[in-house]
Every structure is written in C-alpha cells, then in structure tokens.
C-alpha cells in the first residue's frame, strides 16, 4: 500500500520542481551533435534491455549491479540503469492501478448483474496483459556524472554542456544559447537573478534536432488556512467540473462532441480503406493515426485547463476535495464515449487540478470516488436506482432531489475529513459503511419509510445542506 502524502499545512513551504523545455541545441554544432547521435544509439539499446529486465524478471532498482555488456563507460551504464528503473517503476505502478481498476469494474459489473440493472448487450470487462514498454523516442535523462551543465562566463553563451562520449576521456563541449523566453522563465522575479538549475538534465532528439530540458526547484508556500471552506469537485463529460456550491465549468457536449464525431467517422472510413487495400495486396497502407484526432485531444485539454483555471479563480481562499478517478468510475461517467477519449481526457482533469494546486500553493486532496454518484448526500442511502437518468439524482428513501453532479460533488466535499471512509480498502467496505450511516440516519430521524410525500416536504430545502459526514 502506498503511504498517503502528508497534507502540507498553511505556511509550510513545498518544493516544486519545474522543467524548462524546448531549449534547442545550436545547428552550428552539427559535427559535435553527430557524436551525440552515436552515443544515443548505444545508450538507448542498453536502456531498453534494462527496461525489459525490470519489467519482467527483476524489480526496478536504480542501484542494480551492471549485468549487461556495453561499450559505454561505467558512469553512462549507471545512468542507463537509473533511467530504465524509473521507466519500469512507473510502468509497473500504472499496470497495477489498471489491474485494480479492472477488478473494480468487474465487481461493479457483477453488482449490476445481481440487481439486474446491467444494460442489455453490456460486455464483461476484460483484462489484456500489457506489453513491456519500448523506447521509441530518443531521450537521455543524464546526471552530472555524464553531462555537466555550467553557466558560461563567456558572454555569447548562457551555458556549456560537457558530455562524456563513447571515446575514453573524450568530452564533447556544446554551448547553449537561451532564447528571450527561456531567459525570462529562468529569472527569479523576486531577485531578478538567474535561477540555480538542477544538476540533472534531459536531452531529446526530435525531428532531427537535439533539445535540452533544464529544471529548477521553486518553493511554493501553501496559502490555504486549515479552516478554509471545502469545495468538492465532481468530474464529468456533460460538465467537466461541478463544484459542491453548484457551479459548473466546461463541457464536452456541443462543439467538442461534434468534432469528436467527425474525427471518428474519418477514422472509420480510413480503416475501411486500409482493409480494402490490404485485400488487394497493397503493401504501403495509409497510416491509422489521425492528425485531426491529435489536434482534437490538444483542444479538449486546453478547454479542460481553462475550466480548471476558472474554477480556482472563482474559489479563491477555498480548499478542495476531488475524485480519484478509476476506470470503473470513468466507465460509469462516459458510457457513450469511446475508450480513447475517456482515457485521454477525463483523466486529464484531476491531473490538471493537481498541477494547479501544487503550483499555486492551494490545499487539495484526492478522495475515494466509490459510490459518490449513487450515494444520497442527505441520508447516505446508496442505490443505483437513485439515478433515474444521467442528469438527475432522486433518493429512493428520503426523496432528496437535485442535479446528479451536484449531489456527487457534495459527497466528495464531505469525504475530505472522513477518516473512516478513507480507511476502507474496497468498494464493498465503502458501501457497507455508507449503509451503516444510512441506518443511523433512519434511527435518528425515526423515519419508518412509509410515507414518502411527508419526507419529500421535509427535505425539499436540503439542496443547500452543509451536512458533512
Ligand atoms: Zn436520501
């Protein structure tokens, strides 16, 4: 089990590492950079071998003893092992999370089957084993042992890169000239001085050119007081964000949906054409990737970013609770969308929230999302039938009626300080806990469920309820 990250208190500085990307290495260094090309080839081949090793036979370990043959120096060999261990680690974590999501989805499927709410023709979720990652991009995550990046005292350049090469004791010196944009980013606005950069640098080759990524550490102080009002964030398609105070930000419906439909049609036609050509024995088939699809994803992400930014601007001084989105919840939220879109975009919302809060020093916490959309915010009753349709929430027991996303965001807000719920280790435990609370609620209000109309009147004004727990 992963240990939960400690929530930073107000006034506590948090270290945030920020990357400065797209620094192009000068064309004038062409001869020099071809030496880098040769190095990269050998390096990536070795790195790939370790990635495969760490994803299959052994656990990722940056300190693993070198066990493969290479013409690289010992130091470069270590860097390759470290990079491979990092890649394998995140691959293993992502795979484990995806597998847990699959188990959750399967459990939800079984529940629906049991209470006969499974849609006709719905397929049982399937698990497909993941492939070991293959390194497709030329990317070298180097440390100071192999690539030194030092400020230049010569006035024409900003930095000098000193790179160890394949030749024993032969070093490559590459000057770096920053653009005005990069100079701006690397200048501390408080002191007006150049920031101190971290000793590790990344080298990328894209479109025939080499690019450098630098990074620096910034201290961000958490500004949110612990008693700041709690805002719950519900993530969805119809509304990217619904907050527990009843505001909505961004939508996938309308223009974006139209664009997605057009793109899907286009891809379908292309696939048909490919099949047709394949039958005729044509060797060079048109590519399956779609440029408009990529543009669409970028566009959706921009829209998401805009929605998230606006949400934070309009809730200054608040703290936030948001969902841990799993594939199971995404399935629930995005029935009508294709797998590709929901995977690439719904998941982007919580990531964007996380990045925004870290950057701005806002307190925000991820909470469990299990049953947040089926649970009644007033009486805690959990039932899929509380959702007569995608938009509406109507509690079968107490009659609490409101917008479905609003009910969910209020549940999410209430979960922020809910330690009992946080301690639950499975969906079943969450459900059992909520149903216990529902029983408690019934006893407290002595409501024998005999006369729904009276209760309807009782709880009609509960939409603005601040009830937590
Ligand atoms: Zn209820």
How far away, in angstroms, is 375 Cα from ligand 1 center? 8
Q: Residue 463: its pLDDT value, please?
A: 41
Q: What is the pLDDT of residue 461?
A: 43
Give 429-454 pLDDT, tens digit per residue.
Answer: 999 999 999 999 998 886 555 554 44
Mean pLDDT value of segment 79-97: 91
- What is the distance in A from the centroid of ligand 1 to the CA of 456? 10
**7-to-220, 354, 358, 410 alpha-carbon distances in Å:** 14, 13, 11, 21
CA of 379 to the centre of ligand 1 (A): 4
Q: pLDDT category, 5, cuts 50, 70, 90?
A: very low
Helix, strand, coil shares of the chain, percent, nearest 5, are 40, 20, 40
Tell me which residue of 339, 465, 371 sits closest to 410, measured CA to CA: 465
Q: Mean per-residue pLDDT for 124-132?
A: 87
High-pLDDT (> 90) share of the chain, %: 46
Residue 347's pLDDT is what? 76
**135: burial class by Cβ within 10 Å (0-12, 13-18, 19+)?**
middle
Query: What spacing in Å lies between the alpha carbon of 381 and ligand 1's midpoint?
Result: 5
Query: pLDDT-based confidence at 128, cuts 50/70/90?
Result: confident
- Average pLDDT, stretch 7-33? 78
Q: In what order do the strands lie in the sheet with 171-176?
A: 147-151, 159-164, 171-176
Q: Rounded to the nearest whole angstrom, what is the distance from the C-alpha of residue 230 to the centroid of ligand 1?
A: 22
Q: Phi and psi of 108, rounded to 5°?
A: -65, -40
CA torsion angle 33 37 43 47 (round to 10)? 110
Structure tokens belonging to residue 193: 């001085």
Distance 376 CA to ligand 1 centre (A): 5
DSSP class of residue 464 equals G
Q: How confident is the model at residue 254 (pLDDT cuts 50, 70, 90)?
A: confident
Q: pLDDT tens digits, residue range 33-87?
A: 888 999 999 999 999 999 999 999 999 999 999 999 999 999 999 999 999 999 9
Do residues 323 and 372 touch, judged by C-beta distance below 8 A?
Answer: yes
pLDDT band at 259 (very low <50, low <70, confident <90, very high): confident
C-alpha distances in Å from residue 63, one per residue of 60, 82, 84: 9, 7, 11
Distances (CA, A) of 446 to 440, 449, 455, 456: 10, 9, 11, 15
If 0-12 CB within 10 Å is exposed, 13-18 middle and 19+ buried, where does residue 243 land?
A: buried
Give the distance (Å) from ligand 1 centre to CA of residue 397: 5
Q: 230-235 and 319-323: which strand pairing?
A: parallel
The CA distances from residue 325 to 244, 257, 330, 342, 424, in Å, are 17, 21, 7, 11, 16
User: How many whole angstroms from 398 Cα to the centroid of ligand 1?
Assistant: 4
Cross-strand bridge partners of residue 15: 219
For 153, list phi and psi in degrees, rounded to 5. Answer: -95, -10
Q: What is the pTM (predicted TM-score) of this model?
A: 0.69
DSSP code of residue 462: G
Query: The tokens of 83 are what?
Result: 């990079």
What are the backbone angles phi and psi of residue 92, rounded to the nearest 5°? -65, -40
* CA 459 to centroid of ligand 1, rounded, Å: 9
- Interval 235-263 mean pLDDT: 86
150 has a pLDDT exceeding 60? yes
Indicate the SS3 state at residue 35: helix
Q: In angstroms, what is the span from residue 28 Cα to ligand 1's centroid?
A: 70
Residues 346 and 333: their CA atoms lie apart, in Å, by 9
**Cα-based distances in Å from 371 to 121, 147, 302, 421:** 23, 50, 29, 11
The model's pLDDT over 207-237, given as tens digits with 9 standing for 90+, comes to 889 999 999 998 888 778 888 999 999 988 7
In this model, does residue 18 exceed pLDDT 50?
Answer: yes
469 alpha carbon – ligand 1 mean position (Å)? 13
Q: What is the mean pLDDT of residues 98-121?
A: 77
pLDDT at 6 over 70: no
Helix axes 291-313, 255-279, angle to 10 degrees: 160
Tell me how far CA of residue 228 lies from CA of 234, 245, 350, 358, 362, in angstroms: 19, 14, 21, 17, 11
Q: How far is the CA of 434 from the centre of ligand 1 (A)?
A: 11
């Amino acid at each position: 089990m992963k240990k939960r990250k400690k929530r930073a208190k107000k006034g506590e500085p948090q270290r945030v590492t920020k990357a400065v990307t797209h620094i192009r290495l000068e064309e004038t260094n062409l001869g020099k950079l071809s030496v880098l090309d040769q190095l990269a080839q050998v390096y990536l081949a070795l790195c790939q071998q370790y990635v495969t090793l760490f994803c299959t036979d052994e656990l990722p370990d940056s300190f693993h003893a070198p066990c493969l043959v290479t013409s690289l120096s010992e130091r470069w060999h270590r860097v390759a092992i470290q990079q491979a261990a990092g890649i394998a680690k995140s691959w293993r974590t992502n795979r484990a999370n995806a597998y847990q999501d699959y188990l959750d989805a399967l459990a939800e499927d079984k529940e629906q089957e049991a209470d006969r709410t499974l849609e006709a023709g719905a397929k049982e979720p399937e698990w497909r084993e993941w492939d070991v990652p293959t390194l497709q991009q030329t990317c070298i995550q180097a440390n100071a042992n192999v690539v030194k990046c030092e400020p230049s005292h010569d006035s024409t350049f900003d930095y000098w890169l000193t790179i160890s090469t394949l030749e024993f004791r032969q070093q490559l010196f590459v000057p770096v000239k920053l653009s005005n944009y990069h100079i701006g980013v690397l200048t501390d606005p408080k002191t007006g001085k150049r920031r101190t950069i971290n000793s590790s640098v990344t080298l990328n080759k894209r479109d025939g050119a080499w690019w450098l990524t630098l990074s620096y550490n910034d201290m961000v102080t958490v500004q949110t007081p612990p008693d700041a009002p709690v805002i719950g964030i519900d993530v969805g398609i119809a509304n990217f964000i619904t907050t527990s105070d009843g505001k909505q930000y961004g939508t996938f419906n309308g223009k974006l949906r139209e664009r997605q439909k057009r793109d899907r049609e286009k891809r379908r036609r292309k696939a048909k054409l490919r099949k047709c050509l394949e039958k005729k024995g044509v060797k060079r088939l048109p590519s399956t990737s779609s440029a408009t699809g990529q543009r669409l994803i970028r566009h959706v992400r921009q829209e998401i970013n805009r929605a998230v930014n606006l949400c934070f601007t309009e809730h200054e001084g608040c703290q936030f609770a948001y969902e841990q989105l799993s594939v199971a919840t995404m399935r629930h939220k995005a029935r009508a969308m294709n797998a590709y879109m929901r995977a690439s975009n719904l998941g982007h919302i919580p990531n964007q929230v996380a990045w925004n809060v870290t950057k701005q020093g806002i307190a925000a916490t991820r909470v469990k999302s299990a049953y947040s959309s089926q649970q009644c915010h007033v009486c805690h009753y959990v039932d899929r039938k509380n959702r007569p349709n995608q938009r509406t929430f109507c509690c079968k027991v107490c009659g609490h009626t409101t917008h479905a996303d609003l009910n969910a965001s209020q549940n999410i807000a209430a979960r922020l300080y809910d330690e009992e719920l946080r301690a639950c280790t499975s969906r079943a435990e969450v459900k059992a806990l909520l149903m216990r609370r529902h029983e408690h609620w019934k006893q407290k209000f002595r409501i024998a469920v005999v006369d729904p109309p009276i209760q309807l009147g009782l709880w009609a004004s509960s939409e603005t309820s601040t009830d937590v727990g």
